[in-house]
Amino acid sequence: MRFMRVSFVMVALAAATALLLPATVEAQSGRLSIEARPGVTLPTGDISDAGAGAGLALGAELMYTFMPALTAYVGLSRDSFSCDDDEPCGDGFESSGLQGGLKFLFGRDGTALPWARAGVMGQSLEIGDEDTDMSLGFEAGAGVDIDVSRNIALVPAVGFRTYGVDLDNGGDLSARWFNVTLAGHIHF
């Protein structure tokens, strides 16, 4: 809970700063963009305690820049976590669903545009044969858009996601993990 409060304060400060700075990187010239984001998941908390290890992160998002330093995003994601056969997590965990929020751009001259983002997500967790109902959660992240050409950027990023789920056996589980990704970003 402390991490969420600290993250919220950091994102609020980033947003206030971003609104005061113009986004000047060449690849940010288009208002509409898409992003494909492969990467790695690094579980923590309950799913890590259950034996889950690193896995594959996949995501795709549609973005709209409505202010020079502020972009709205909506997307789909599927994050999986590996598991050894002798661990309690059995066949592993897989989280999938929707996310949306705001990306705060820190404009500067040059070919790189640092950013921070925060949003909400609706995710369901698959644990072996059990699928949980969709739960609301929170995500935050930071990265940099690095121009490859006028309309294309590579985007290394780190993010944190968290949400809670109710299990069929009456228990609950807190799904938390970090994503380390390298996205391809196309502006129209």
Q: How far apart are CA 175 and CA 100, in angstroms?
A: 18
- Residue pLDDT, tens place only, 84-115: 766 666 677 899 999 999 999 987 667 899 99
49: tokens are 């305690």
Domains, the chain: 2-187 (2.40.160.20)
Q: What is the pLDDT of residue 87?
A: 63
Beta partners for residue 31, in sequence order: none
Q: What is the pLDDT of residue 30?
A: 54
Q: Which residue has better confidence, 77 or 7?
A: 77
- The CA–CA distances, whole Å, from 173 to 14, 96, 126, 129 equal 31, 16, 12, 16
Q: What is the pLDDT of residue 109?
A: 67
What backbone phi and psi angles, to 5 degrees, belong to 13? -65, -40
Q: What is the pLDDT of residue 14?
A: 47
155: tokens are 């985007």
Q: Give the chain's end-to-end CA distance (angstroms, integer).
A: 39
pTM equals 0.80
126: tokens are 């698959």
- Residue pLDDT, tens place only, 23-79: 444 344 458 999 999 999 999 998 888 888 899 999 999 999 988 889 999 999 999
What backbone phi and psi angles, to 5 degrees, belong to 83? -155, 135
Angle at CA of residue 100, ends 94 and 28, nearest 5° = 115
